[in-house]
A and B are shown apart, each in its own frame.
Chain A
């Protein structure tokens, strides 16, 4: 089973920030948090990952709480093309080789 829980769906107005939460209360010290998204039935697209520090790249920002039990993916200015299912995945990385996907959050960006 996935080690993460996410709300099943969210709406966001175009141009506004989309904040997608994820709970990973059983995360262990050396596990990373990865975020992917899936548009329609396309392949999952990598967005960002982090361990304990906040991270930012050209797509999004990742805020991880100090206790690492939850995180938030922020899309600063959502567009219609950001409508997708967003997955938060906890991965040990080294040696585990697999991602365990949950059901994700279906984000709908509204015009």
Chain B
């Protein structure tokens, strides 16, 4: 069964450093998402992406964050200058579409990258 994959599974970085989290969405999916979950807290939406553009973003997704689909398979989240409070699990998700058919709109999540900022 196709699945979303994420690399690395764990990342430790120093405050102020840049990190890039990578995701390979399910191959025929067109909509991509990043969520994060701080330890012990809710899963929070960060951003959605379609057709090489951000479709929607949350207040958390400030200028320190960016997303990119550098090729036909990868979807990346970059944090330019990490802060201690960026420590969290980051989940990538993808869906076949965003419109019209709830089955196609269902989001499938990857296993996550645990980011620790020291």
Using a CB–CB cutoff of 8 Å, the interface residues on chain A facing chain B are: 2, 32, 34, 36, 38, 41-46, 49, 51, 87, 91, 93-103
Residues of B within 8 A of A87 (CB): 43
Q: Which residues of A contact B91 (CB under 8 A)?
A: 43-44
* Contacts between the two chains (Cβ within 8 Å), count: 67
In the assembled complex, how far is the CB of residue B104 from the closest CB belonging to chain A, in whole angstroms? 9
Interface SS of chain B? strand
B4-43 to A contact mask, C-beta < 8 Å, 1/0: 1000000000000000000000000001010101000011
- Top 9 A-B pairs, shortest CB-CB distance: A43-B109, A97-B48, A101-B43, A98-B45, A93-B105, A97-B56, A94-B99, A44-B109, A32-B102
Q: How large is the interface on B (under 10, 10 to 19, 20 to 34, 35 or more residues)?
A: 20 to 34
CA distance A96 to B105 in the complex (A): 10
B89 within 8 A of partner (CB):
yes
Residues of chain B lying within 8 A (CB to CB) of residue A42: 111-112
Chain B window 89-115, contacts with chain A (Cβ cutoff 8 Å), 1 for yes, 0 for no:
101010000111011011111111010
The answer to whether B102 touches A99 (Cβ under 8 A) is: no
The answer to whether B107 touches A41, judged by C-beta atoms less than 8 angstroms apart, is no
CA distance A97 to B45 in the complex (A): 10
| With A97-B33, A97-B98 as contacts: A41 and B89 at CB distance below 8 Å | yes
**DSSP majority for the A interface?**
loop
Min CB distance A56 to B, Å, is: 15
Instruction: Check: B55 CB closer than 8 A to any chain A CB.
Output: yes
Cα–Cα, bound, A44→B43 (Å): 9
Are A43 and B111 also in contact (CB < 8 A) when A97-B31, A98-B56 are?
yes
Q: Please give, as numbers and ranges, the residues of chain B lying within 8 Å of A51 by CB-CB distance.
A: 102
Closest chain B residue to A34 by CB distance? B106
Q: Does B68 contact A (CB under 8 A)?
A: no
| A99, B45: Cβ atoms closer than 8 Å | yes
